[in-house]
């Protein structure tokens, strides 16, 4: 084991920097020249300006890996369904911790901005299969839970897209670590009656270091409110608007909901309340 005396001797043999030295000192200029020379030697061809090629490649690789490993949230009787890329949540992510069980609304300008981002994030899903529907889709749901934004876009022929994002700036302007969604078309025969809910998204998406449970889809014209009694988070309120409902929460408690069902309390426009079980 190295003793304190030996450490002191070793440290004294090193080349200490003068704390009073300036950027114009001989030591500083020499160090700068050595660093620049080493950086130049490491570049391909020894010339050129450093670019962001490596961060871009890392982002693309991450998206490919997540597309392969993301848990499918699913869609009932949908002709086709796409899952959006999920940039991973960071450990102790403050956006994730900001989630609230009660949604907050948005201004008209905020709704428009959130809808535009959802369209942009979804355009390449399914190799652009839904591009035309997305470009003409309307914003049916736009809510906030903490810093998280949920958007449901809807269009003709039963089309809808769900986007949940933390909205935080990240690499080259992309979301930093919270984005999940689903997209698809519900057949006419599967669309809900006046007092029915028909989720196109019901289940859990797995991310690192946590999971997100989501339920969203068309809601009948008589439905005024939907509440899920979560054993972990308590009463989680859905946003119900323009024939759509949406709610989500941290955790994987809906991982088996597609087969076992998800019980919710539904309030109708006439004030009556009923328990429904959502399933695929």
| 72-81 CB burial, b ≥16 within 10 A, e <16 | ebbbbebeeb
Domain ranges in the chain are 72-278
Whether residue 177 is preceded by a cis peptide bond, meaning omega within 30 degrees of 0, is no
CA 137 to chain centre: 20
Distance in Å from the first CA to the final CA of the chain: 65
Compute the distance between CA of residue 133 and CA of residue 118 in angstroms, rounded to an integer: 13
- Of residues 34, 53, 33, the one with CA closest to residue 44: 53
Mapped onto helix, strand or coil, the DSSP state of residue 221 is coil
Q: What's the confidence (pLDDT) of residue 62?
A: 28
How wide is the angle at C-alpha 75 spanned by C-alphas 154 and 185, nearest 5°? Answer: 40
- Runs of H (alpha helix) within the chain: 4-13, 26-42, 53-69, 94-97, 108-122, 131-136, 257-260
Compute the distance between CA of residue 195 and CA of residue 274 in angstroms, rounded to an integer: 10
Mapped onto helix, strand or coil, the DSSP state of residue 127 is helix
| 280 residues of the chain, pLDDT tens digit each | 555 665 555 555 555 555 555 555 555 555 555 554 544 444 443 322 222 222 222 222 223 332 322 333 433 333 334 444 344 444 446 667 889 999 999 999 999 999 999 999 899 888 889 999 999 999 999 999 998 999 999 999 999 999 998 765 543 333 345 678 889 888 988 999 999 999 999 999 865 446 889 999 999 999 999 999 999 999 999 999 999 999 999 999 999 999 999 999 999 999 999 999 999 7
Which single residue is written with the structure tokens 């889709």? 137
Q: Show Cβ contacts of residue 192 under 8 Å, excluding neighbours closer than 6 positions.
A: 198, 218, 219, 220
What's the whole-model pTM score? 0.67
């Amino acid at each position: 084991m190295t003793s304190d005396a030996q450490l002191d001797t070793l440290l004294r043999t090193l080349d200490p920097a003068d704390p009073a030295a300036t950027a114009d000192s001989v030591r500083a200029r020499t160090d700068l020249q050595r660093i620049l020379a080493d950086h130049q030697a490491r570049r391909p061809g020894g010339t050129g300006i450093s670019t962001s090629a490596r961060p871009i490649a890392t982002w693309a690789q991450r998206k490919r890996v997540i597309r392969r490993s993301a848990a499918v949230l699913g869609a009932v009787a949908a002709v086709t369904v796409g899952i959006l890329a999920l940039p991973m949540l960071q450990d102790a992510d403050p956006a994730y911790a900001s989630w609230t069980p009660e949604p907050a609304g948005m201004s008209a300008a905020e709704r428009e901005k959130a809808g535009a981002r959802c369209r942009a994030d979804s355009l390449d899903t399914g190799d652009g299969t839904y591009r035309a529907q997305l470009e003409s889709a309307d914003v049916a749901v736009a809510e906030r839970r903490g810093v998280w934004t949920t958007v449901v876009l809807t269009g003709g022929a039963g089309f809808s897209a769900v986007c949940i994002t933390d909205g935080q700036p990240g690499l080259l302007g992309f979301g930093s670590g919270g984005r999940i969604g689903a997209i698809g078309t519900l057949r006419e025969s599967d669309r809900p009656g006046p007092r029915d809910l028909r989720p196109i998204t019901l289940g859990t998406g797995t991310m690192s270091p946590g999971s997100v449970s989501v339920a969203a889809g068309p809601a009948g014209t008589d439905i005024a409110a939907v509440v899920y009694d979560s054993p972990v988070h308590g009463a989680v309120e859905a946003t119900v608007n323009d024939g759509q409902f949406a709610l989500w929460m941290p955790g994987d408690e809906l991982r088996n909901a597609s087969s076992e069902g998800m019980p919710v309390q539904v309030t109708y426009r006439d004030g009556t309340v009923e328990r429904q079980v959502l399933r695929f």
